[in-house]
Amino acid sequence: MRAVTILLDGVAYGMILFIISVGLTVTMGLMRVVNLAHGAFAMLGGYVATALTLKGVPFLVSCLLAGAAAGAAGALAEVTVFRPLYRKAELQHVLLTIGLCFIAIAALTLFAGSTPLPAIVPDWLDRMVDIGYRSYPLYRLFLIGVGAVMALGVWLIMERTLFGAKLRAAVDDAQMARAVGINVSRLFFLTFTGGCALAGFGAAVGAGIMPLEPFYALRYLVYFLIVVAVGGMGSFRGSLAAALLIGVVGTAGRYIVPQFGGFLLYLLVFGLLLWRPNGLLPPKSAA
Amino acid sequence: MKKTALILAAAAAVFGAAQARAEVVKFGIIAPFSGPFAVWGKQFKDSIDAYQKLNGKMVNGHEIQVIWRDEGAGDASKSRQFAEELILREKVQMLGGFTLTPDALAVAEVITESKMPTIILNAATAIITRKSPYFLRVSMTLPQIIKPLGEWAAKNGIKTAYTLASDYAPGHDAEDAFVKNFEKGGGKMLGKDRIPLSVTDFAPYMERVLQSKAEALFVFAPAGAPSIAMVREFDRRGLKAAGIKLLAGGEVQQIFLPSFGDSVIGTISSVHYTESNQRPENIAFRKALVDQAGPDTVPDMASIAGWDGMNLVYETVRALGPRFTGDQAIAFMKSKTYESPRGPIKFDPVERDIIQNVYIRRVEKKDGILINQDFTTVEGARDPWKDDNPNAK
Amino acid sequence: MSAIPQSKSDEPSALWHALPWLLALAFFFLADGYHSLGVNILIMILFTLSLDLALGYAGIITLGHAAFFGFGAYAAGLFNLHVSADPLLGLAAATLAAAALGLVTGALILHTRGETLLMLTLAIAAILHEAANHMRDLTGGDDGLAGIRPGAVFGLFRFDLWGKTSFLYCLGVLFVWFLISWRVVRSPFGRSLDGVRQNAKRMRAIGTPVWLRLVAMYALSAAMAGTAGALSAQTTRLVGLSVFELLTSGIVAVMLVLGGERRLYGAFVGATIYVLVQDVAGAINPFYWMFVIGILLVAIVLFFDGGLMGVIETARRKLRRGGAPGAAP
């Protein structure tokens, strides 16, 4: 039974990582942009959700609006700063997006101060429920549910729609996709916007576990990047697998050897990437 | 230093009756205003600005000017560089600030050589004040505030306990202080987990505590996102429902309480400043802070240190005038005894560490606001580490 | 566009080469009270220069160069505490230690590319960070490694409190490393890496041992970063855990691009401007220097390819053509 608890905890944590990171994996896979500002878009969503919830907007509505706000910010950024970036080298991406992070951190500090934000998870969600053998936090079950719905949604879009087919084609070979008449820059725009929206939504929903503060953009960035790299750039299934793996293995590791969690995670990442440089489940192009 | 003395002498000669003239006394503060510890710089600044707004910038006709430097994300080399600039270029007469231990240690040599009185506003590792005779600390040390909590727990019917502390030097110090005094009082430890700083999800640790069936849990994590996530997980996981008492230090300062739900009510903590205490000094302090920084401003450990540090600067200039040597200033400050908003404070004349009350408090809800209500006071608490390690350098 | 000057007439004159060093000497004599600032700038220049070798010239994308800076810093600190107080010996030991680390990790990871490589470098720095935090008995953990007291340079020049000796010491070390870099990037070895960066496949096809050359350059760059870290340990007399942080790696990359990659002097411009902006903006309003740096970065990447050094070069060329029209071909 203890194993079930660890599994639930790990999956719940993995699901937040997945929701926030899935947009990053698609943009990094599709556009080859090393986007270190992804955490900043997530953070922006979290801040919007907090502001709305404190104004009395219901939690779930605020989370959706947070996604919309982060998506809008992403759309704006795609058109203005990311588009000229696609042709440049990776280093330029790193730099520009670190710059965006700095700007976001400074701006949010200016508007909302440097203290962590108040909790927004409502009471009806933040309580214990009986799951048969013990009582368990409903919030974590909720995260698992939301994550599953999101994963299913993204999967349906990727596998069952024309848009998804075009997207997969472009991830595998952008040049070829362009040659057969797919409007790749429109795809870029839509995926980037969608990815940012998911990140904003994820940060809002997951605020109960990852508290929001101006340094959020950099504090959790490493985890998002790990999910993307371990899963395989551009691979939706890979990022789900990686997020769950990090969630479950990380949780179990901490449960069994509490002190060595930090080492374990990075050694695991290091080993995995040496073993499979293109990630666990890379898209065809990289295989 | 000969040069400075010459310049001073020349200046004195030129101005003749220098005593009568208005002068500017500069106080340089090195603290983080950006990066993960930015909140410290902001809290220092708010309370110091509030102090100057309330008391005016002049002391006996001499202006007290504060000069700020941002050392960012705890970068020791920046800290040392700023100390040098402030001393040589800005000609400050006192230094202050320092949030993290390495930042304070990095300036020890500089301030010793230049005999610069330096007021530590946070950096809490016990040994710091032994690294230079010009350090004076107005914050606290972790053993100082955690020892009373360990003793209290053992004395108040808690038989078994568990500790979760972040795996870095301050976490180790806090854990040691709690465990040592809890066991000395007859308590039994069921587990001592150290949590890597990179961890953001505390669920597995709370699960271990739950399984251990300990009666109480002591937690320590860096203030801010990590400590908030930790306490939230305690609430959410039903440890409270299972009858486990949460014991903490600065994790449940009032400033953080809005980050938790009502389930945080009942948490016991021990620190050197209770935000809601009704001393007249505290009421004046909080009013000044609200006037300066807005109606929602809540003071924390950083604010109270900034306020008391500034008070020491004012008192020094009031007593010694605008010109004083480092030795005079340190001798004056460490003999100072006064009523701070936190309660009566004085200094250990040898160690130059603050001696103050430590308050054991419980989180309660009053008029719809979560606050800490103190119910036990340990008077005149010293830093126990210094007493246990009289010769450590 | 290749940064290697196309023709002889494009080579900057001797005066240009002397300029940064003359400025540094002028700083030494004129900027009393700012020598520590100068020392920090020199150390960051050296660190940035090391990144230019790996990232700029060899095209090794890394977000973990702090690993070598930090390793060098701790090595120098520990050497000083446990072996010898001689600063140059300490510098040599730290440099070798960092080079060895670069060699080993480089050999492990340099068959990967792009984002994978980025993550591997990042993971190495993170592992070292965790290790240094854990070995508190050795490293002081979060309290920092204190008590470093370097002896006199050559047994003659004592480190004074205000960083004058430190400044000249760092300047000398930087000069030596600059000469080495200058020779390396102009050697056949350096030029072959230019080819590797642009098309590794083709280079492999014509028989260049690509992996070996990358590892060699990486180790050289690591050694230089280790020297920078050692200088930091010796002049600050303290090493904090933050030397291993992601932000440290990020900031040095920022400095490089700010100044312009593959230019050597780009490191000089980038590190100086970054530290000065941080200092000046920080003094005016400590809260928002991040804002200024952020805007600067976005602007540089979008509008000024080649960084500030690129701007300077363009201006210099225009100036020359405008000033001496007869000289134009």
Residues B95 and B175 in one domain: no
The predicted-structure confidence for B58-73, as pLDDT tens digits, reads as follows 999 999 999 998 887 6
DSSP helix/strand/coil, A57: coil
Between B393 and B93, the more confident residue is B93
What is the residue extent of each domain of chain C? 33-271
In one-letter notation, the amino acid at residue A191 is T
Residues of C in contact with B102 (CB under 8 A): 142-144, 146, 238, 240-242
Q: How many residues does chain C have?
A: 329
Reply yes or no on whether the pLDDT at C90 is more than 80. yes
Residue C76 CA to residue C226 CA, distance in Å, equals: 9
Residues of B in contact with A210 (CB under 8 A): 200, 225, 229
The predicted-structure confidence for B218-239, as pLDDT tens digits, reads as follows 999 988 888 888 888 898 888 9
Which domain, by its residues, includes B178? Answer: 143-271+358-388
Exposure string of B49-77, with b = 16+ CB inside 10 Å and e = fewer, is: bbbbeeeeeebeebebebbbbbbbbbbbb
Residues B267 and B381 in one domain: yes
C87: contact with B, CB 8 A cutoff: no
Query: What is the predicted pLDDT for the residue at C200?
Result: 81
pTM for the whole thing?
Answer: 0.88
Close Cβ partners of A181 (under 8 Å, ≥ 6 residues apart): none
Reply yes or no on whether the pLDDT at B2 is more than 60. no
Q: Find which of C110, C111, C116 to mutate to test the A interface (most A CBs within 10 Å of its CB).
A: C116
Average pLDDT of chain B, as a whole number: 90
Residue B236 CA to residue B255 CA, distance in Å, equals: 20
The predicted-structure confidence for A209-219, as pLDDT tens digits, reads as follows 888 988 899 88
CATH code: domain of residue B151: 3.40.50.2300
Distance from CA of C245 to the nearest CA of B (A): 10
Reply yes or no on whether the pLDDT at C178 is more than 50. yes
Least-confidence region, from A230-239, B146-155, C120-129: A230-239
**What residues of A are in the C interface, CB distance below 8 Å?**
28, 32, 34, 36, 81, 84-85, 88, 90-92, 94-96, 98-103, 105-107, 109-110, 218, 221-222, 225-226, 228-229, 233, 262-263, 266-267, 269-270, 273-274, 277-279
Chain B contact partners (≥3 CB pairs within 8 A):
A, C
Q: What are phi and psi of C308, to 5 degrees?
A: -65, -35
Residues B367 and B344 in one domain: no
Q: Which band of pLDDT confidence, cut at 50, 70 and 90, is reported for residue C233?
A: very high
Residue from the list C115, C130, C293 with its beta carbon closest to the beta carbon of A102: C293
Identify the CATH number of the domain defined by range A2-286.
Answer: 1.10.3470
Reply yes or no on whether the pLDDT at C319 is more than 90. no
CB C48 within 8 A of CB C271: yes
- Contact flag B198-A261 (C-beta cutoff 8 Å): yes
B393 inside domain: no
Residues B43 and B71 in one domain: yes
Give me the total of CB pairs closer than 8 Å, taking one residue from chain A and one from chain C.
124
Residues B215 and B118 in one domain: no
Residues B20 and B135 in one domain: yes
Query: What is the predicted pLDDT for the residue at C1?
Result: 38
Residues B374 and B254 in one domain: yes
Q: Average the pLDDT over C306-318 and give the result.
A: 81
Residue from the list A9, A114, A121 with its beta carbon closest to the beta carbon of B38: A114
Residues B318 and B264 in one domain: no
Residues of A in contact with C61 (CB under 8 A): 90-91, 94
Residues B158 and B102 in one domain: no
Q: Which band of pLDDT confidence, cut at 50, 70 and 90, is reported for residue B329?
A: very high
CB A6 within 8 A of CB A255: yes
Q: Find which of A115, A138, A248 to mutate to test the B interface (most B CBs within 10 Å of its CB).
A: A115
Q: Average the pLDDT over B371-380 and give the result.
A: 94
B228 inside domain: yes
B85: contact with C, CB 8 A cutoff: yes
- Contact flag A222-C111 (C-beta cutoff 8 Å): no
B39: contact with C, CB 8 A cutoff: no
Q: Tell me the CB-side half-sphere exposure of residue C203, using CA atoms within 13 A.
A: 19
Query: What is the predicted pLDDT for the residue at A68?
Result: 97
What is the residue extent of each domain of chain A? 2-286
- Contact flag B106-C238 (C-beta cutoff 8 Å): yes
Reply yes or no on whether the pLDDT at A144 is more than 50. yes
DSSP string, C14-32: HHHHHHHHHHHHHHHHH-T
Residues B220 and B315 in one domain: no
Q: Which band of pLDDT confidence, cut at 50, 70 and 90, is reported for residue A18?
A: very high
Residues B76 and B133 in one domain: yes
Average pLDDT of chain A, as a whole number: 88
Q: Find which of A94, A109, A111, A224 to mutate to test the C interface (most C CBs within 10 Å of its CB).
A: A94
